[in-house]
Structure 1
Amino acid sequence: MFQRSTLLQIALILFGIAFCLLYPLSIVWPSGWAWHEGPPAASHYFMMIVGVYATLGIFLIRAARDPAANRSLIWFTIWSSLVHAAIMAAQSLGSPMHGGHMLGDVPALLLVAIVLGWLMATERAGAAAAS
């Protein structure tokens, strides 16, 4: 069985890769990932979000080398994912045109927050028990 730290490292790498794939995801399933009509590059706002998430993805992958040294980045990812998901869920419910987000990016961000939050909490509990 994997140790908690190994699971955290795997999760950081997988979520980092997923964040880097936001642009291709928006091409494959635009109603679940893009918030505008037309191709992904048609929206300056969307391209800015792609850049921010790709950068976060790269840093999450790098954080997998030493999660303990990158706790702030991981907790930022957890909390910003929760806030982003909540805002998008409210906006999706208010606009029938954006209902696909309730099946796409909203649950994806909640998954990131729940998995990383659980792994960080169990990592902390394991470290406390070891000392």
Structure 2
Amino acid sequence: MMAAAESGPLTTHVLNTGDGVPASRLALSLHRLDSQLKIWSLLSVGTTDEDGRCSGLVGGEALSPGMYRLRFETGPYWESRGQTSFYPYVEVVFTISDPQQSFHLPLLMSRFSYSTYRGS
């Protein structure tokens, strides 16, 4: 599954705060929790662009109320820069109650820390 090229209702922006640059070419994936089976289903995969952004992870029709997980492959990103990291990946779990809204989920990261928030 590939992410759509156009912008969608869920976007992300990854910043390498340790080096003060966008985290370009960082792989990520979006998953949705099946509330009955309690298993995660892969919805899409993507890679950040040169500005550290990834839009179009999912089309509006694919979003429904529920729990989602955005997984950032931080270990391979740091390895590609010749560095090690304490976190091999970062998973951010969040709930969507109104799929008509737009959701922006930035990740600010260094090799030894990360933070995230719901942006606009």
Q: Same fold (TM over 0.5)?
A: no
Kindly name which structure, 1 or 2, has the bigger radius of gyration based on alpha carbons: 1
Q: Calculate the TM-score normalised by the size of structure 1.
A: 0.27
Q: Calculate the TM-score normalised by the size of structure 2.
A: 0.29
More strand by share: 2
